[in-house]
Amino acid sequence: MVAHLFDGLGMIILSKLADYGVIVATHMALAPERQTTAAALATETRLPRATVAKVLKSLAHAGIVTGARGATGGYRLSRAADAIALSEIIQAIDGLMAPTQCTSHLPECARSEYCVTRPHWQRINRVVVAALGAITLAELTPFGAPVAKRAEVQFDTVRP
């Protein structure tokens, strides 16, 4: 699903859990006022219940969904789908996005002092994060978001 976000430019690979997070959040965006359980979402999305529960916990921790306990409890989006960026969902599950070690917060690799590609990977990462941030959850629903509300990424304006 999300792996084909940049058709023609190759593939961006997310974790399976992040992909499931996008599926669950998009499904919730179809009926944003509805409060639903992890079990119902699992059935409706055809994902494993334990996986949906794990995704919902991460999304709740990130403030993307809110949960209520009790007999009438469940989850719902914490704000409108057009106010939730795809990047938020991915980062809620996978953490900060980084296509290479030098764009992450991991210890630097042995080549970082003389690597000629390092500055370019950092720029590429900024463009990818900006692109994912410009796509809202509402746009991922089958009916999409109104064109006037869509944010367009200016790839040529993202500079190192």
Rounded CA separation 127/66 (Å): 30
Domains (ranges, CATH) in the chain? 2-157 (1.10.10.10)
Amino acid at 46: R
pLDDT at 103: 60
Flag the least confident range among 34-38, 60-64, 83-87, 100-104.
100-104
Nearest of 85, 96, 26, 33 to residue 55 by alpha carbon: 26
- CB 79 within 8 Å of CB 127: no
pLDDT at 41: 96
User: Of residues 78 and 119, which shows the higher confidence score?
Assistant: 78
Judge whether residue 159 has pLDDT over 50.
no
Helix, coil or strand: residue 128: helix
Q: How confident is the model at residue 108 (pLDDT cuts 50, 70, 90)?
A: low
For residue 128, with 0-12 CB atoms within 10 Å meaning exposed, 13-18 middle and 19 or more buried, which class applies? buried
* Mean pLDDT, rounded, for 56-65: 97
Q: How confident is the model at residue 62 (pLDDT cuts 50, 70, 90)?
A: very high
pLDDT at 24: 97
The pLDDT mean for the chain works out to 80
Give the contacts of 11 (CB within 8 A, at least 6 positions apart): 3, 4
Judge whether residue 99 has pLDDT over 70.
no
pLDDT digits (tens, 9 = 90+) for 111-151: 767 778 777 877 888 888 888 899 999 999 887 754 434 44
Judge whether residue 152 has pLDDT over 80.
no
Give the contacts of 31 (CB within 8 A, at least 6 positions apart): none
For residue 62, with 0-12 CB atoms within 10 Å meaning exposed, 13-18 middle and 19 or more buried, which class applies? middle
With a pLDDT cut of 70, the percent of the chain lying above it is 74
pLDDT at 16: 93
Ordered DSSP codes for 52-119: HHHHHHHHHHTTSEEEE-STT-EEEESS-GGGSBHHHHHHHHH-S--SSGGGSSSPPPTTTTT-SSHH
